[in-house]
A and B are shown apart, each in its own frame.
Chain A
């Protein structure tokens, strides 16, 4: 394997990038899967094998990517000759697939932000360890980028007390449907060493995202962030997560989705607030990022795949990115691909 250092765009930091080509399978070529495939083909010179039950869609995506992309017409859970498989299909379709590929000894990256998926994927840990396989859980915008930002922020503290995640915006239609469902279901937070279940759509908080998203009302929802962050920071007292929503979103969250969504999603942002003690004093660090959620999620999944190929993950088994990667190297590589993080300087609360 050959590695070389590159200077991250817009930053003076260095990212470790392999020049080895890999063969990556992508199961699901919606908004995130298509962006991910483009990243791997254009930035990493990887070969991608695309699988999706929507024939026209997969053909259109493959055609736009050129000769490095090929279509595999097998069933989603048929064996694949790849180094890593990325599960970028809709929520609640990924667990069974992950289990199949782990059994075959193939590394898995999942972009799901569904609580049921994330719990089931984390439960594959011992099975993945036995086979010396990586299962990266929640390699998207949130969880995903948020986990790496949280890990980066915690480096500034001697003791971590609280992590609060907020997300605004959705990727493609599948992501929008998942966001809609999550708002109508119970939230899972972590409080003083125990899981804390609260109603979805409650706990309004005005969260300030990087420009141009700015301030958005955010609410509790069925989000998996705490599930992947608590194992990474076992001493943390509180972990919460919220999504931005309008009053219409909240009032209709328990009904089927009544309106069409943008196939590519709109602009979005994430915000990660970490509270703890540094030099004996209480302190707060707020990180954020603004991008199209599908673009950022595609980049995060692409970098996670590259880290697996390069042997740059911290551990085998199933875990979120906060546990699995060096946050500085990961953020530097994301910056090189145009996904840049920001820090909020000033008063985080009045």
Chain B
């Protein structure tokens, strides 16, 4: 019984660690680039 509980806790910790490390990010931009702001209105 104790062994089963320990295994379950261990598995839970592993899954939690994996989820925490993986996170839930969104897709990155696939096109575009940065341009310095310029002009009288800094557009």
Residues of chain A at the chain B interface (Cβ within 8 Å): 10-14, 152, 201-206, 208, 210-211, 215, 217, 219, 247, 250, 287-288, 328, 331-332, 335, 340-350
Contacts and interface: CB of A to CB of B under 8 A. Distances in A.
B26 A345 contact: no
A29 B33 CA distance: 36
Interface residues of B, number: 24
A212 to B, nearest CB: 11
B29 A347 contact: yes
B42 A152 contact: yes
Given A205-B26, A206-B25, A219-B23, A343 B31 contact: no
Given A342-B34, A344-B34, A11 B39 contact: yes
A206 B28 contact: yes
A347 B37 contact: no
Nearest to B26: A205
Contacts of B26: 205-206, 349
A346 B42 contact: no
A346 B29 contact: yes
A349 B38 contact: no
Contacts of A12: 38-40
A195 to B, nearest CB: 21
A347 B42 contact: no
Given A11-B42, A208-B28, A350-B30, A341 B23 contact: no
Contacts of A219: 23
B21 A343 contact: no
Contacts of A288: 34
The 8 closest A-B pairs by CB, nearest first: A346-B32, A204-B23, A350-B27, A342-B34, A204-B25, A206-B28, A210-B34, A350-B30
Interface string B7-31: 0000000000000111111111111
A342 B36 contact: yes
A14 B40 CA distance: 7
Given A12-B39, A350-B28, 10 more contacts: A13-B42, A202-B20, A206-B25, A210-B34, A219-B23, A287-B37, A328-B41, A341-B36, A343-B34, A344-B33
B24 to A, nearest CB: 6
24 contacts: A11-B38, A13-B38, A13-B39, A152-B42, A210-B34, A211-B34, A217-B25, A219-B23, A247-B21, A328-B41, A335-B37, A341-B42, A342-B34, A342-B35, A343-B35, A344-B32, A345-B33, A345-B34, A346-B31, A347-B30, A348-B29, A348-B32, A349-B27, A350-B27
Contacts of B31: 346-347
